[in-house]
Chain A
Amino acid sequence: MQKTAFGALLAATTALSPLAATAQTEIQFWHAFTGRLGELVAEQVATFNESQSEYSVNATHKGNYSETLNAGIAAFRAGEQPHILMVFEVGTATMMGAEGAIKPVYEVMEEANADFDPDAYIGSVKGYYTTTDGQMLSLPFNSSTPVLWVNRDALEGAGIDPDTDLSTWQNVDGVLDQLAEAGNDCPMTTAWQSWIHLENLSAYHDVPFATKENGFAGLDTELAFNGPVQVQHIAQMGEWAKEGKFIYAGRRNEGGANFRAGECALFTESSAGYAGIKAEANFDFDVRPLPYWDGVDGAPQNTIIGGASLWVMEGHEPAEYEAAAAFLNFLSSPEIQAKWHQDTGYLPITKAAGELTREQGFYQENPGTDVAVKQMTAKAPTANSKGLRLGSFDQIRGIIDEELEAVWSGDKDAQAALDSAVERGNQLLRRFERASN
């Protein structure tokens, strides 16, 4: 923030006109990024502030995702809301339901007469944040999708060809057997189990996670992830857990520490894990597309995203919305997006940024970094693979975590656990539906 303030100061003084300085429209941007990502955001903001003299963005870190969302909500209730608020993907339905608190991005762009082409964005990235008729509600900021990370040294150590085909779960099953036989005590682990092994699994196999187009088409949606594809997958994972082939490390990305330390051979985790794995792994690693079940109709479809998007909040001046539009447009520009994508492992949000990255030779120098992009864009998203729009989704994920843990520990079978998760989650959806009416 010091950098930002300094940038603004620099912009104001180099303009050398007090008038220009006072006429500058300042807007507030609250985000959840710290550490390396926080520095990258600060850099984007400083670049924007220096690139023009009309607007100035003041970025503030407001804690982790849920703290940032709560800060935004509390501020809105007190009339102190920022112009732009970062909200994680599970908060999407909450934000959408808050008509009167948010101003859809397409509207902001329209009113500012900004040069805004929704088709420039990658369909499966923006799909998560657009209405069924294609209007963008919030700007995707950091989006990632799950992939399979492979410790090549561990495979070799177990006498397995590190280039072996891992595109299907059937193949993975064989490799896990070999790893276990070779005495590897952590053949596979995962991060974000609900996101990867239920939400993405469903999209990837083109089966619904919830009814009503996964909630896009109405608040009266019901969970549907207890279908045969999901049950079969979770049952198989439960089997692996029992045999010591799948090691459960925690609800978030605790498994990452195990994988980066070289303890685990395979790891299903977000593509955004790239920077961390690259920094800490002292073994040869590889990134592969998320496996699918061979034989399921339509698989592999496309995977869905996780991450956060930027929402514009209601209750500000037109000039400030112009500033917000200019900033969001700036963030969408190919150069900024390409740099962000390359620096972080998050997906580029526009097609142009992806192409620019390819032209710059990044994918050639860093093999595997385009796996996630390909996996997202191979097919046009269907109603089952656009994304999820479910109220109280954070709590539903909590319920799913609990029920999956019951499967991993052998307390429940997959069908019973998923049935129970669906039933408990539906109660929350009904409550959310009533709150939003």
Chain B
Amino acid sequence: MEKRVTFKGWLLPLCLIAPQVFISAVFFFYPAGQAVWQSLFIPDPFGLSSQFVGLENFEYLLGDPYYRASFVTTAIFSTLVTLAAMIPALFLAVMADRLVKSARVYRTLLIWPYAVAPAVAGVLWLFMFNTRVGVIAWYLGQLGYDWNHVLNEGEAMGLVVVASAWGRISYNFLFFFAALQAVPRSIIEAAAIDGARFWRRFFTIVLPLLSPITFFLLVVNIVYAFFETFGVIHTITSGGPQQATTILVYKVFSDGFVGQDLGSSAAQSVILLLLVGLLTVLQFKYIEKRVHY
């Protein structure tokens, strides 16, 4: 996507972009580069000795059926989290947009989940769904439903998806709502006069206007689902039962941060980076074509 009207000069833009590039270089690329370099080694955690193994870490990983299975788990998990975080948020934002005055109370309540630190959110959901004693698990039990996410793979997946998406609903709501507020009233009013039904009008007229923000949220939510959910998974299921909720980045986290297997963890980061890099390029190249700026 390109702007047709641009300014001239190259020194000014370079100066403008310099701070971000500098910070990214020092605090992102250098450390990330170190991590990537480590993927060619089997190092000891303290950095005292390490053995160069070439691509062996990758061979080891890709030869492991459990690792390959976690690609599928990740795809399912990320899709579900993205949908569960975006669709309710859009729906609620549309509703809130219709209620100019009283919307304020709703909006204020809706934003609270986002104020819960992820480190605490996992605990909160586990607290509610703890097998048999968590308050929701208990009431489900009274209704005759035996909630057991520690052995039931579907329930485990459902629980980590909901717990991960929960705070993001608020996040997405905030952006969708802001974007809806920016849709010119005249467009909506014009559409209202011609009597088209609400949702059809919404999909044909309003949604295209929201496409830049939707695209932004899509990318950001997928990245979130891929990369920032491992804390919740660690707290609630530790990747189980069996490997039902072991997503790629959880394995990076648990092998590297918990298990101190830095070589394997670094190799997994590289694989992840390639995968998500590819995904992002695809998104920019194809999905963005459908975005109306």
Contacts and interface: CB of A to CB of B under 8 A. Distances in A.
Contact between chain A and chain B defined by CB under 8 Å: yes
Contact of B240 (A66, A69, A186, A251): A251
B150 A402 contact: no
Contacts of A249: 131-132, 150
B46 interface: yes
A263 B46 contact: no
Contacts of B257: 66, 70
Contact of A263 (B43, B132, B241, B242): B132
A248 B150 contact: yes
Interface string B256-279: 011111011000000000000000
A427 B132 CA distance: 37
Contacts of B259: 392, 394-395, 398
Given A392-B259, A428-B261, A431-B60, A258 B48 contact: no
Contacts of A258: 131-133
Contacts of B133: 257-258, 261, 263
B45 A98 contact: yes
A101 B48 contact: yes
Q: How large is the interface on A (under 10, 10 to 19, 20 to 34, 35 or more residues)?
A: 35 or more
B46 A76 contact: yes
Interface in A400-437: 401-403, 405-406, 408-409, 411, 424, 427-428, 431-432, 434-437
Contacts of B283: none
A145 B46 CA distance: 30
Contacts of B151: 248, 405, 408-409
Residue from B43, B151, B243, B260 whose CB has the most chain A CB atoms within 10 Å: B260
B49 interface: yes
Interface residues of B, number: 34
Given A250-B131, A395-B254, A395-B255, A436 B238 contact: no
B130 A257 contact: yes
A73 B48 contact: no
Given A186-B132, A263-B132, A405-B242, A436 B150 contact: no
B239 interface: yes
Is chain B's binding surface mostly helix, strand, loop or mixed? loop
B264 A431 contact: yes
Interface in B113-142: 130-133
Given A248-B150, A258-B132, A398-B239, A100 B48 contact: yes
A343 interface: no
A254 interface: yes
B200 to A, nearest CB: 46
B63 to A, nearest CB: 10
A405 B242 CA distance: 6
Given A66-B258, A402-B243, A98 B44 contact: yes
Interface in A61-92: 66, 69-70, 73, 76-77, 91
A101 B238 contact: no
A261 B137 CA distance: 14
A24 interface: no
Contact of A434 (B42, B243, B255): B42
A81 to B, nearest CB: 9
Nearest to A77: B47
B24 interface: no
A431 B42 contact: yes
B42 A251 contact: no
A392 B132 contact: no
Interface in B223-242: 238-242
A392 B264 CA distance: 12
A80 B113 CA distance: 37
A135 B47 CA distance: 25
A368 interface: no
Interface string B40-67: 0011111111110100000010000010
Contacts of A411: 242
A344 interface: no
Contacts of A432: 261
A162 interface: no
A254 B238 CA distance: 12
Given A254-B150, A431-B60, A435-B51, A98 B46 contact: yes
A99 interface: yes
A97 interface: yes
Nearest to B261: A392
Nearest to A409: B151
Residue from B47, B131, B238 whose CB has the most chain A CB atoms within 10 Å: B131
16 contacts: A248-B151, A251-B238, A251-B240, A257-B133, A258-B132, A395-B261, A398-B259, A401-B238, A402-B240, A409-B242, A427-B60, A428-B261, A431-B42, A436-B44, A437-B49, A437-B51
Interface of B: 42-51, 53, 60, 66, 130-133, 150-151, 238-243, 254-255, 257-261, 263-264
Interface of A: 66, 69-70, 73, 76-77, 91, 94, 97-101, 186, 247-252, 254, 257-258, 261, 263, 392, 394-395, 398, 401-403, 405-406, 408-409, 411, 424, 427-428, 431-432, 434-437
Given A98-B48, A100-B46, A402-B243, 7 more contacts: A263-B132, A394-B254, A405-B150, A409-B151, A409-B242, A431-B261, A435-B49
